[in-house]
Amino acid sequence: MAKHKAGFVNIVGNPNVGKSTLMNAFVGEKLSIITSKAQTTRHRILGIVNGDDFQMILSDTPGIIKPAYELQSSMMDFVKSAFEDADVLIYMVEIGEKALKDESFFEKIKNSTMPVLLLLNKIDISEQNVLEEQVQYWQEQLPRAEIHPISALQNFNVKEVFERIIELLPESPPYYPKEQLTDRPERFFVNETIREKILQHYKKEIPYAVEIETEEFIEDEEIIRMRSVIMVERDSQKGIIIGHKGNALKRVGVEARKDLEKFFDKQVHIELYVKVNKNWRSNPNQLRRFGYNP
Ligand code: GDP
Ligand code: K
Ligand code: MG
């Protein structure tokens, strides 16, 4: 039998290029929330794909940005760590994009010693001649990288890239138990599902001022009962989240419940309420409590 392979595959790139979509496509589960807004992903999230003779440990990271407040600095620390412990680095760009907005990260990719796969994503919305020109552009920018055009959304070339990554993994015993899918506890996925609905339904700065905490998660045979707090920074935001006659919040609850029932494959009851936690995004103690490391 072939020797067992295992390793860390870290996905980095600008916001909104499709990193979380790819990770979910590889894992076959919606581990990472996806929206059309930047800063949807706040943490480094592991997704583990197990085969008989391999274990691929993917990590999805927040998009690379210049931090403007403590939460964002912590988000970028997650990205930095992703450069340090990768066996294979996936640098994702989307069609039409030219180099990373933060040049120091681009230098890091250039100077890294691990194999780099440059995935040119969203080719479903590109013309052939644009695609060819882009491949050439990236080959000049990063001569050491292997370039693969893909569509993470439409599953084009995704399987081929997956096979290629397995080839590149080092020989190693598994790092995690073979039945494990992620390093995150169940409550994390509850929080993220709620946050996805908020990103989808509220405007402007509201989603960025929100953090979720699931206080109760009780599973019995028939049903999982959850209670989650939606934390905002100011009173005015609380009113907006709840909405006229509570309808806006109700919609978040209904949609989150549907997704969570799919995710846990069980009936779900979820209770949501809103609390003001003044300026939590700039408060190191609060950030630590929510799993960031300022
Ligand atoms: P991330 O910020 O890099 O994690 O990007 P997401 O995975 O959250 O995706 C950002 C947006 O791009 C979402 O609206 C996705 O549906 C969309 N997207 C991702 N991959 C593709 C793709 O291959 N083609 C197209 N057309 N859209 C995509
Ligand atoms: K996004
Ligand atoms: Mg993401």
Equal CATH topology for 5-168 and 186-289: no
What tens digit of pLDDT does each residue of 28-84 get? Answer: 888 898 888 888 989 888 999 999 999 999 999 998 888 888 889 998 888 888 878
Write down the domain spans for the chain: 5-168, 186-289
Confidence category of residue 158, pLDDT binned at 50, 70, 90? very high
63 touches ligand 1 (CB under 6 Å):
yes
| Proximal ligand: closest to the CA of 152 | 1
List C-alpha distances in Å: 69 to 37, 116, 206, 240, 262. Answer: 18, 30, 15, 23, 35
| Cα–Cα dist 294/288, whole Å | 7
Q: Look up residue 184 and give its two tokens.
A: 């995150």
Q: In what order do the strands lie in the sheet with 88-94?
A: 45-50, 54-60, 5-13, 88-94, 116-121, 146-149
36 touches ligand 1 (CB under 6 Å):
yes
Q: What percent of the chain has pLDDT over 90?
A: 69
CA of 122 to the centre of ligand 3 (A): 15
Q: Within 10 Å of residue 121's Cβ, how many Cβ atoms?
A: 27
Q: What percent of the chain has pLDDT over 70?
A: 98
CA of 30 to the centre of ligand 3 (A): 12
Q: Within 10 Å of residue 86's Cβ, how many Cβ atoms?
A: 21
62 touches ligand 1 (CB under 6 Å):
no
| Cα–Cα dist 147/137, whole Å | 11
| Cα–Cα dist 244/253, whole Å | 15
Check if the interface score ipTM surpasses 0.90: yes
Homologous superfamily of 5-168 in CATH?
P-loop containing nucleotide triphosphate hydrolases (3.40.50.300)
CA of 158 to the centre of ligand 1 (A): 14
Q: Where are the beta strands (DSSP E) in 79-145?
A: 88-94, 116-121
- Tokens 């491949």 belong to 135
Helices 247-264/235-242 angle, 10° precision = 70
| Cα–Cα dist 192/180, whole Å | 19
What tens digit of pLDDT does each residue of 99-146 get? Answer: 666 677 778 888 888 999 999 999 999 999 999 999 999 999 889 999
The answer to whether the Cα torsion of 293, 86, 88, 136 is positive or negative is positive
Query: Which pLDDT does position 99 carry in this prediction?
Result: 66
| Residue nearest atom 10 of ligand 1, based on CA coordinates | 16
| Cα–Cα dist 89/52, whole Å | 23
| Cα–Cα dist 253/192, whole Å | 13
Average pLDDT value for the chain: 92
CATH of 186-289, one of 3.40.50.2020, 3.30.300.20, 3.30.70.2190, 3.30.930.10: 3.30.300.20
155 touches ligand 1 (CB under 6 Å):
no
Best of 34, 41, 156 to mutate for ligand 1, by most ligand atoms within 8 A of CB? 34
Q: Look up residue 107 and give its two tokens.
A: 């230098």
Query: Which pLDDT does position 224 carry in this prediction?
Result: 96
Query: Which pLDDT does position 120 carry in this prediction?
Result: 97
Residue 200 confidence (pLDDT) above 70? yes
Atom of ligand 1 nearest to the CA of 156: 23
Query: Which pLDDT does position 294 carry in this prediction?
Result: 64
Judged by DSSP in three states, 53 sits in coil
Judged by DSSP in three states, 3 sits in coil
What tens digit of pLDDT does each residue of 241-289 get? Answer: 999 999 999 999 999 999 999 999 999 999 999 999 998 999 998 998 8
Do 271 and 212 contact (CB within 8 A), yes or no?
no
Judged by DSSP in three states, 13 sits in strand
CA of 151 to the centre of ligand 1 (A): 9
Q: Within 10 Å of residue 239's Cβ, how many Cβ atoms?
A: 13
CA of 170 to the centre of ligand 2 (A): 30
